[in-house]
Amino acid sequence: MIFTNPLPEDKDLDEYYQGFLFNEPKPDKIKKQIESRTNELNAHFIPKSDDLSQISFLDYGGGTGAMFEAARKTGYDAFYFDIYKESVGFVKNNFGLSEDEQIKDLSLKGRTFDYIWSDNVIEHVKDPSLFIKTLYDSLNPDGKLIIKTPQASNTETCFVFALSMLSYFKRAVKENSLMKSLASVLRYRFWHCEPPRHLYAFSKKSILEIAESLDIDKSRIKMSDYYMSMFLYSLPYTFFKMPNTLFKYVFGLAIIPFIIPEFFVILLRVLLSKLGLISGTGLIIKIIK
């Protein structure tokens, strides 16, 4: 497990996160997000009852609410929680989130659910053990908790030049020497622990040790990797996401010789991931109570 030490003060995190995590998606992307979440929902949750309205579903740290809306449209008794006002306001305006569907208590005290979904939240919190305990304790018997989070030292990112070098290496070199930064990226692969945004990056072993400390039966836990989509963070993708400045077009000209070689690296990455020879960018943690 990769972790931040010392942890930031609460007041510093509150100041940093004011509106930071929320990027309002465009209408066409909202539709695609809901479709994608519906596919994930059907893949990870297999209800025992045909009456989905009797199955309670919580999207914990739901952001733009795509999973909440997917669960509600599928027929679940869906609930939503997020601490950021911008996110809650967006879900109310776009999906008609009602007061009854909104969970306002961070601790979930007195509330239980059949299914809980938390996507890329645990790496942001200061106490991941308390986070897992809170969600696990809020499950009904035989309920299922699914947590998605970036994976510490995954090897997939080594094949993604735009992410490993243009993102992580560029940030590292601001605070360290050139050689130390290069060694960190190539050898230690500190992916995904990016204080103050991400305070942790987890391995499968670290998740099992947290579970053991909470007396959660390890036999009730299953973990798998998830991989990034094929062209995400490719050089052309990075170019189109850049703001329209002179640097963008200089960068665009500079990457032309690298596009074809990168394409073959992408194919190699996808093949190795299909064969399970490289670890994915993130973990899917499934816990059944």
- What does the pLDDT average to over 102-112? 92
Strand partners, 42: none
What are the structure tokens assigned to 248, written together? 């963008």
Residues 221 and 237 placed together within one structural domain of the fold: no
Residue 173: per-residue pLDDT: 87
Residues 100 and 62 placed together within one structural domain of the fold: yes
How many separate domains does the chain show?
2
Q: Residue 142 above 60 pLDDT?
A: yes
Residues 104 and 238 placed together within one structural domain of the fold: no
- What does the pLDDT average to over 188-211? 89
Residues 25 and 142 placed together within one structural domain of the fold: yes
Residues 43 and 12 placed together within one structural domain of the fold: yes
Contact 149, 274 (CB under 8 A): no
Residue 184, exposed/middle/buried by CB under 10 A (0-12, 13-18, 19+)?
middle
Residues 93 and 145 placed together within one structural domain of the fold: yes
What are the structure tokens assigned to 15, written together? 């100041």
**H or E, element range at 56:** strand 56-60
Residues 176 and 97 placed together within one structural domain of the fold: no
Residues 7 and 141 placed together within one structural domain of the fold: yes
Residues 42 and 92 placed together within one structural domain of the fold: yes
- What does the pLDDT average to over 232-242? 89
pTM of the model: 0.90
Residues 76 and 169 placed together within one structural domain of the fold: no
**pLDDT tier, 284 (very low <50, low <70, confident <90, very high otherwise):** very high
Per-residue pLDDT tens digits for 147-186: 999 998 789 988 998 888 778 888 888 888 989 888 877 7
Residue 22: per-residue pLDDT: 61
Closest to 45 in 3D by CA, of 118, 122, 145, 124:
145
Question: How far is the C-alpha of 63 from the C-alpha of 85, rounded, in Å?
Answer: 10
Three-state SS at 258: helix
Residue 207 sits in a domain whose CATH number is: 3.40.50.150
Question: How far is the C-alpha of 194 from the C-alpha of 196, rounded, in Å?
Answer: 6
Q: Residue 19 above 70 pLDDT?
A: no
Sign (positive or negative) of CA dihedral 22, 25, 31, 35: negative
Per-residue pLDDT tens digits for 213-222: 999 999 999 9
Per-residue pLDDT tens digits for 83-95: 888 889 999 999 9
Residues 108 and 60 placed together within one structural domain of the fold: yes
- In terms of residue numbers, what domain contains 167? 156-191+233-274
- What does the pLDDT average to over 26-52? 91
Per-residue pLDDT tens digits for 128-141: 999 999 999 999 99
Residue 29: per-residue pLDDT: 86
Residues 132 and 12 placed together within one structural domain of the fold: yes
Longest alpha-carbon distance in the chain:
59
